[in-house]
Amino acid sequence: MHVNRLKNGPRNGPEGTSPADLLGRGAQQQHRDRSGDGGEAEPVPVPADNDNPGGGPESFDPDSADYKAFGWAGNKTLPSLVIILKDGTEYGINYCDLASACPTGSMFLPSAPGFKGNVIRLRVAGDEGPFMPVIEGLRLRRVWELIMGHKTPWIHELPAGMAVGRDADPVIWSITFLDSQRLAAAGRGR
């Protein structure tokens, strides 16, 4: 008899599903050491580097003394993005509501007239009409890539008086929202 049948019980049915698999205990076998000794291999953590904090998905910590511009979801895509303002107010955006129309859709601008640094403009098809979060800061290319890949759970505007950790980290100075009426008045609506 096969080793898995001894550990999980006899297999039944055309697919060979064991009772342990039906009860959800079969998931414990997914990290099995394939060397044949029956030992279990430990999951390997994702190493951290400068672009990826490691592990993911990470939660926003409002009590942290260290500023961080964005979270990272590891290799998982997410259904929504939380925008956290300086005062701690949080807004949720469904990733499926991001518009990709050109030239009025979401976009990254390395530099823009009237702004210092980078600008990310997200066009969102909201319930009450389109609106645009406009994100201004430094070194925002990685933040843009994670947003477009639906891989950041949150972004955070730099609070007043908080210092930036490292010089190479992204910094979001400001996040402003343009609503559908302001977009239409500027000739950029719908």
State the Cα–Cα distance between residues 178 and 167, nearest whole angstrom.
30
Q: What's the CA dihedral at 19, 23, 28, 30 to 10 degrees?
A: 70
How far is Cα 79 from Cα 168, in angstroms, rounded to an integer? 28
Flag whether pLDDT at 62 surpasses 80: no
The Cβ of residue 135 has, within 10 Å, a number of other Cβ atoms equal to 24
> Which residue would you say has higher pLDDT here, 160 or 85?
85
Q: What is the arithmetic mean of pLDDT over 130-135?
A: 93
**47-51, 98-102, 137-141, 165-169 — which is least confidently predicted?**
47-51
Residue 61: pLDDT band by 50, 70, 90 thresholds? confident
**Which has the closest alpha carbon to 82: 70, 92, 71, 72?**
92
- pLDDT (average), residues 3-15: 46
Higher pLDDT, 16 or 145: 145
Radius of gyration of the CA atoms of the chain, in A: 23
pLDDT at residue number 183: 58
- Split at pLDDT 50, 70, 90, the class of 77 is confident
Distance of CA 82 to the CA centre of its chain: 9
pLDDT band, very low/low/confident/very high, at 71 (cuts 50, 70, 90):
confident
The band of 95, judged by pLDDT with boundaries at 50, 70 and 90, is: very high
Of 103-112, 125-134, 159-168, which gets the smallest average pLDDT?
159-168
Structure confidence at residue 27 (pLDDT): 40
Q: What does pLDDT average to over the chain?
A: 73
Kindly state the percentage of the chain with pLDDT values over 90.
37
